[in-house]
């Protein structure tokens, strides 16, 4: 079972964020914004396009979800009360980007 192309792109931006932010939190590195905000921003754009293609009028134009095995609308891909993976990724990228924009790390 392989996720669709847009799901792979979202993961390509999300997984490095976990590593970069974990190291930055351990080192109290305020300079992480330079690396993490672009990852969150580009990932958010991909997740936004994917969410629009999943819910909105873009369904007819972009059909990566229907070609995946399983499709993004199937039960294994939805989380909690049926929230689809693209929407979860979008919310996570927005939360990470927003927190990074507000965050000030304490100097040692």
Which long-range contacts (C-beta less than 8 Å, at least 24 apart) are formed by 70-76? 70/1, 71/4, 72/3, 72/4, 72/7, 76/1
Per-residue pLDDT tens over the stretch 39-75? 999 999 999 988 887 777 655 555 556 555 555 655 5
* pLDDT value for 108: 46
Compute the distance between CA of residue 48 and CA of residue 50 in angstroms, rounded to an integer. 5
Compute the distance between CA of residue 4 and CA of residue 38 in angstroms, rounded to an integer. 23
CB 53 within 8 A of CB 62: yes
Per-residue pLDDT tens over the stretch 77-102? 667 777 788 888 899 999 999 888 88
């Amino acid at each position: 079972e392989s996720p669709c192309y847009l799901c792979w792109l979202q993961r390509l931006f999300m997984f490095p964020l976990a590593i970069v932010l974990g190291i930055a939190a351990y080192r109290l590195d305020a300079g992480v914004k330079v690396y993490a905000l672009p990852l969150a921003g580009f990932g958010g754009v991909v997740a936004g396009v994917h969410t629009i293609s999943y819910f909105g009028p873009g369904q007819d134009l972009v059909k990566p979800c229907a070609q995946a095995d399983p499709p993004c609308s199937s039960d294994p891909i939805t989380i909690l009360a049926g929230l689809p993976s693209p929407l979860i990724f979008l919310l996570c990228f927005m939360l990470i980007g927003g927190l990074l924009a507000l965050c000030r790390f304490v100097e040692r």
